[in-house]
Amino acid sequence: MLRKKTAKPDITPPPAAVPEPQHKGRPSPLVDTRVVYCGDNLEQLKKLPDACIDLIYIDPPFNSNRNYEVFWGETKEKRAFDDRHASTQAYIEFMRPRCQELARVIRMTDSTFFRCGGKAQGLSQSAVLTN
């Protein structure tokens, strides 16, 4: 008696995902994401390569025409900043180069969250859109 040979189902598991190579201990080949970069954001952004950022969340000054002061942490270190600009145009000129740098470093397929309230929202959008 002849038996018909039936094919066995392929139960071989799929190959394991190949992990992305680590770049000298860094998860990214472009930017060392293990570091918090401190300083003026404009100067720090200029140091970054093009299209190296996946997500940007920015909470810039609101052009509130106020001075802010806070006592920080257990040591009650005084931290303060002025949110005053000579004019609306001065505020736009302050924001424009920062927005230009943000546009340069963000990948085209990723997102920027721009938190800004009051009259600064429209002004910041103007700084971005007129770039």
| pTM summary value | 0.64
pLDDT for the residue numbered 18 = 45
CA distance 55 to 110: 6
Q: Which residues pair with 114 in a beta bridge?
A: 58
Whether 37 has a pLDDT exceeding 60, the answer reads: yes
| Distances in whole angstroms, Cα of residue 23 to Cα of each of 32, 103, 127 | 9, 25, 36
pLDDT for the residue numbered 17 = 47
Confidence class of residue 50 from pLDDT cuts 50, 70 and 90?
A: very high
Whether 113 has a pLDDT exceeding 70, the answer reads: yes
Q: Which residue has better confidence, 116 or 24?
A: 116
CA distance 85 to 75: 31
**What digits encode the pLDDT tens for the residues 79-110?**
888 888 898 889 889 889 998 999 999 988 87
Whether 29 has a pLDDT exceeding 80, the answer reads: no
Q: Kindly report the average pLDDT of the chain as a whole number.
A: 76
Taking residues 114-128, what's their average pLDDT?
A: 61
